[in-house]
Amino acid sequence: MNNKGKYLTPVSIGTATVWFSTHCGAGFASGTQELQFFANHGWFGPLMPILTIFLVALTYYVGLESARQTGLWNYDGWSKEAFKPLKWLSPFLDFNIIIITIAASAATIAAGANLVNQSFGIPMWIGSVTMFAIITLLCIFGEKVVRNNAMIMSAAILIIVTLIVVVGLIKFSPQIAKLYSEGYVNPQSTKWAIDSQDAKTPGSVWNALLWALTYTGFQAAAVGGIAAAFKGGQSKRESKGAMALGFVLNTVMLVGICLLIFSQMPGIMNDKQARLLPTVHIVNQLDIPALKVLYPLLLFLALVTTAVGFIFGMVTRLDPYVLKGMNNKLARRAIISLLSLLVCFAVSQLGLMWVVQVAYKYMGIYSWIFVIIPFFTVGFINIKKRNKLEGQK
């Protein structure tokens, strides 16, 4: 079937849903990111995702079109064409993906420890060790089971999150309306600064904008996976269709969760337990007994699945270069998995808030310098040059 004239095709729709499921994973579902990057600043915070997701869509578009036009679906291949003549920037994208893997995996371990602590009162260190043990075993022996069920678990948590957004917005609409009518601005919002953690400052559009742009930065690290999902795309229209649909899906969901969390301001920011897992705090106020049990369970499974997926991505990337002399492939991959997890476990001990506020912030800055700005300049220039060669206007 010729899809060159269509914006929405099985490939473009599939790519948009991959972006949606990647974004709305365990870190998103916990609500920690939405609180820190958007909701805690003031009435303008929950609106910032519109700009954030638009910029992410532009970044991904460069990846999609670079891969489609060149026929190089491995990000190491198409990124060199995207960065041309600055091909030396390609390893920086590789490094960015490795770092986001470590940080995101550390965040899942820390979030799992927080979840176990809040749900069962188990000490944080025991929760961290438990998460580490479960993920290690699955990485070595049961990754196929997790991978085969990852889509089911992702779909389940997305359905539950959608339900929470709809029910929550209905229930908390009076609080949201009140905060907006008052023009609420948090006098103690999280300050954006390179050298500070959890510093406070009166809320402002500028401070909120810096956090929103940072969110764009670390989300851009997923460009390799999103571009790979577009394999089979035939036209520029499909690329645009994928990004347009992805923009709508991700913006609606992100704004919805941000508004729910914003409805609980300022109390949710001042409550240490609620601040760690804001969506769990929201669920507990919806008075739906089934969700109080089902959501933490699904969140825990999503955390495990996310970590296993990230670690195996790391294993696949490192396997050709590490322990070359070891003939037993299973043992070699098990050792790489274990060592990767040990690094992630060590980072997780710094705490979920450290990962979200500090690690993600530095990754966001890094991405803007070495990925997003080059994509928005030489990346788009190269796409236009290849368009001319294709005979497109």
- What per-residue confidence (pLDDT) applies to 45? 94
CA 269 to chain centre: 22
More confidently predicted of 96 and 258? 258
For 110, how many CA atoms within 13 A lie in the half-sphere containing its CB? 22
- What per-residue confidence (pLDDT) applies to 197? 65
**Cβ contact 113:348 at 8 Å:** yes
Per residue in 25-67, pLDDT (tens digit) is: 666 778 888 998 999 999 999 999 999 999 999 999 999 999 8
Identify the structural domains of the chain with CATH numbers, from first to last: 10-372 (1.20.1740.10)
Neighbours of 292 (CB within 10 A): 15
In the structure encoding, which two tokens stand for residue 8, read together? 């929405």
Is residue 362 pLDDT above 80, yes or no?
yes
- What per-residue confidence (pLDDT) applies to 387? 82
Is residue 157 pLDDT above 80, yes or no?
no
d(CA 331, CA 315): 12
The candidate with the shortest Cα–Cα distance to 231, out of 60, 64, 62, is: 64
CA angle 307, 309, 311 (to 5 degrees): 65
- What per-residue confidence (pLDDT) applies to 393? 47
Question: What SS3 state is found at 290?
Answer: helix
- What per-residue confidence (pLDDT) applies to 150? 62
In the structure encoding, which two tokens stand for residue 254, read together? 């992100």
DSSP code per residue over 234-284: --HHHHHHHHHHHHHHHHHHHHHHHHHHHTTTTHHHH-HHHHHSHHHHHHH
pLDDT band at 146 (very low <50, low <70, confident <90, very high): low
